[in-house]
Structure 1
Amino acid sequence: MKRILVFGMNQNPGGVESFIMNYFREFNREKLALDFLCNSNDKIAYEDELISKGARIFHLTARSKNPVRYYWEMYRFFKKYASDYQAIWVNINSLANIDYLKFARYFGIPVRIVHSHNSQNMDTKLREKLHNHNRDRIEKWATDFWACSHEAAKWFYNQETIGKVKIIPNAINMNASIFSSEARNKIRTDYALDNKFVLGHVGRLHFQKNQEFMIRVLAKLQEFRNDVCLVLVGQGEDLDKLKLLAEELSVQDKVYFVGVQSNISEWLSAFDLFFFPSKFEGLPLAPLEAQANGLPILLSEEAMPQEAKINENIFYYSLKADEERWAKFLDEMIRTTTRLDYEDIRDNFEKSGYDIKIAAQNLEKQLLELV
């Protein structure tokens, strides 16, 4: 059995965490064991499940809280455990902090994979400078270079490295997201959505996800149809600001903030259209799950690469267009697009490369060949 150390999980069950878990659940644990290194003492997402399936979880003090303790704990960890691992797999949104790769190299972990999950800087200017600095030196510390999409690769790596990058699909379990009329009816009844057309969104309440723009588009849409509402599934630092904006635009009774939910597939079933106008992404899982549910989807051109378009009822629109043009485009979609049935979705996913059963077999084979 080969053992790999994974970095990239934190407390929030977001896209990177879901990506890792989708593959972890499918890997043959008699051949490939994954352990997890976390830069926080807080419990990470899915920790109980990981432990129940044999994974070890190692917590370090966050560098931002106590840098001296962080480096000391990192040193002690790698000195004690590095010999247990044939590889380290670092899942990150930027190269601002590559300490894990540096320690792994110093203590002799032979295979060091860095995996890009974003296509644009979402941190401070300082971290952007650190990312650019490390990008030109990453081949000193890593041996293998992965990305979730071609766009994520182009931003993350320099021209010398880009030719060595492997694209690893953000594959999902299609059957975990299939439409349920029972779940749809229950949620729509519980939240009094029965007579409404529901625009739905799943994501952290954060400037990257662009929920402010969604609310402004919704306000414009009210000018020519009043049966539409917006349901936002997720939590984040922009919550209070978004609530205030909804009040300012007099759509507070049309916007539903339902927080973090564990039953995402049921919420997808309750939606009528999935709305995802992100400012930038790597390759987000939420629109893939929405496609598995059969939902019509409207994304920004910046939100998801065309390579992840699986179904035909998914449409792209530019963020260069104003809210009124988006509202008119949405109105047209509401009148002309419908949810796909299971048979069509299944065929599309089997051909796409985003079916986790197939993708996990391929990635497991790649990892075993590396180590």
Structure 2
Amino acid sequence: MRILMVTRGLQRSNGVASYVMNYYRALHGPEMRFDFLVIDDVGSPYYKEIAGNGDNVFLLPSYIKHPLKFFSLILNIFKKSHYDVVHCNVVNSGVPVLAAAAAFNVPIRILHSHAAQNGDVWWKQLRNKPFSALALHFANKYIACSHKAGDGLFGKRKYRIILNLI
């Protein structure tokens, strides 16, 4: 099984990065291979560990500064590799990844909610609504770290709780 794990960053002292790396270490093996798509690269000591296991880390450029490069790289990743699962841990900037996964017929497209609300101020919540709707459309499985996080993003859709610990 080949999994593309999508995350904003993999820096230490980051809750989502810790979650991702805990599951990676627990599940990685010959039958379960992981690649990582990092949307906001700020460097990470985990890159060496991942590469040492024979897995890939794809670093996306800023979609605001380099939108064509951003979308082109996403399409190239899906053209070159077959994934059974895309596990997206970001909502807004994860939309193009989930859309590409759907276009390339990735059978399992997970959207994972790690937060109880979709923005810390009202205007960000308003701005993020269309992105959330698109992410929900392109994903076909929904996961949350808590009921509050699940209800906040998925509303009445069915989702599963996966706690942030192993």
If the TM-score is normalised by the length of the shorter chain, which range does it land in? Answer: 0.7 to 0.9
Output the CA distance in 2 between the equivalents of 1:61 and 1:109.
23
Contact 2:117 2:152 in 1 (8 A): yes
- Give 1:156 deviation, angstroms: 1.2
Please list, as runs of the form range in 1=range in 2, the aligned pairs for 1:1-371 lying within 5 A after superposition.
2-13=1-12, 14-40=14-40, 42-81=42-81, 84-92=82-90, 95-97=91-93, 98-122=95-119, 127-159=124-156, 161=157, 164-171=158-165, 356=166
Counterpart amino acid of 1:35? D
CA contact (8 A) 1:41 1:62 kept: no
Cα distance change of structure 1 residues 11 and 28 upon mapping to structure 2, 3 Å threshold? closer
Q: Is the 8 A contact 1:10 1:45 kept in 2?
A: no
Write the distance in 2 (CA, Å) between the matches of 1:65 and 1:42: 16
TM-fit CA distance, 1:58: 1.2
Aligned residue identity for 2:92: A
Which 4+ stretches in 1 moved above 6 angstroms? none
The alpha carbon displacement at 1:140 in A equals: 2.6
Code of the aligned partner of 1:170? N
Q: CA–CA distance in 2 between the matches of 1:123 and 1:100?
A: 24
Please give the alpha-carbon distance, in whole angstroms, between the structure 2 residues aligned to 1:41 and 1:59: 6
Q: Which has the larger radius of gyration?
A: 1
Higher relative contact order (CA 8 A, sep 6+): 2
> Residues 28 and 34 of structure 2 are in contact (CA less than 8 Å); yes or no, is this contact kept in structure 1?
no
Q: In structure 2, what is the Cα distance between the partners aligned to 1:67 and 1:125?
A: 26
1:302-341 residue CA offsets vs partner (Å, 9 max, x unmatched): xxxxxxxxxxxxxxxxxxxxxxxxxxxxxxxxxxxxxxxx
Report if the CA contact (8 A) 1:96-1:128 is conserved.
no
Greater shift in the superposed pair: 145-154 or 38-47:
38-47
Q: Which amino acid aligns with 2:154?
A: Y
TM-score, structure 1 normalization: 0.41
Deviation at 1:100, TM superposition (A): 0.9
Alpha-carbon shift at residue 150 of structure 1 (Å): 0.5
Contact (CA 8 Å) 2:150, 2:159: kept in 1 or not?
yes
Distance change (3 Å), C-alpha of 1:28 and 1:103:
closer
Question: 1:229-284: CA deviations, max 9, x gaps?
Answer: xxxxxxxxxxxxxxxxxxxxxxxxxxxxxxxxxxxxxxxxxxxxxxxxxxxxxxxx
Distance 1:17 1:41 in 2: 12
Calculate the aligned-residue CA RMSD, in Å.
2.1
For 2:29 and 2:43, locate their aligned partners in 1 and report how far apart those are by CA, in whole Å. Answer: 23
Alpha-carbon separation, structure 2, partners of 1:91 and 1:79: 21
Which secondary structure state, in structure 2, belongs to the residue aligned with residue 85 of structure 1? coil
Paired letter, 1:60: L
Say if 2:10 and 2:38, in contact at 8 Å, map to a contact too. no
SS of equivalent to 2:33: strand
SS in 2 for 1:6: strand
Separation in structure 1 between the aligned mates of residue 63 and residue 87 of structure 2, nearest angstrom: 19
Letter matched to residue 96 of structure 1? N
Cα deviation code 1:121-160 (max 9, x no counterpart):
345655423432244444430110000000101111132x
State the Cα distance separating 1:107 from its structure 2 match.
Answer: 1.6
Q: Deviations over 1:201-252 (max 9, x none)?
A: xxxxxxxxxxxxxxxxxxxxxxxxxxxxxxxxxxxxxxxxxxxxxxxxxxxx
The answer as to whether partners of 1:96 and 1:127 remain within 8 angstroms in 2 is: no
Quick one: structure 1 residues 123 and 70, their matched pair in 2 at CA, closer, same or farther if it must change by over 3 Å? farther
Change (3 A) 1:124 1:45: farther
**Structure 2 residue aligned with 1:176:** none
